[in-house]
Amino acid sequence: MPFPTRYTVEYIAVSKIGAENESPTMNQTDDPSDLWLAAENCSLILSQTCDLTNLFTDVYDSYFTRVKAVTEMEESDWSYSMEFQPFRDTKIRPVNIQIFENPLGVLKINFDSPATPACIYNLGLISVLDLHATLQYHISVHKNGKLEKRWLCTS
């Protein structure tokens, strides 16, 4: 049975290499391998995906990743990603709301929040889930086109 292809992912923050416009490549005069960090649980993995969410801790920093494939007989060159800046490049969807009414007229409201990024502790930012938990929700019930009831709910 042939040795399966395994993948290794590493990443680097621009703040660790200096200039904002500098793109890390293997052509740098210094040894770039000293600056790259192994992505946790992403070394010699069989999967072609790797979750880096908790590694990009500063949402305002820019990051680069690189990946290489390894087989029993060969090892690829590193392949580099484009720059990723979490604050600029992350798109978060709005909260989905489902409303259910039982036969007695009691409403049940479910909030489905988007997947939440890691908390950014060193900048004092909170996660999206924490943000949604602090919002005020205005709920209005209309029947036959007329306002019947209104509530202000807080988490």
Average pLDDT, the chain: 77
For residue 4, give every residue at least 6 positions away whose Cβ sits within 8 Å of its Cβ, in sequence order, or none.
Answer: 46, 71
Q: What is the pLDDT of residues 90-145, one digit of tens each?
A: 776 677 788 888 888 787 877 776 665 544 444 555 555 565 566 677 778 788 88
Q: Is 9 helix (H, G, I), strand (E, B) or coil?
A: strand
Residues above pLDDT 70, as percent of the chain: 72
| CATH T-level assignment (fold) for domain 6-89 | Immunoglobulin-like (2.60.40)
Q: Which one is predicted more confidently, 65 or 132?
A: 65
Query: Any idea where the domains of the chain sit in the sequence?
Result: 6-89, 96-154
DSSP classification of residue 89: H
- C-alpha separations of 102 from 28, 39, 134, 143, 153 in Å: 66, 48, 28, 15, 20
Nearest to 139 by CA among 129, 148, 126: 148
Q: What is the pTM of this model?
A: 0.56
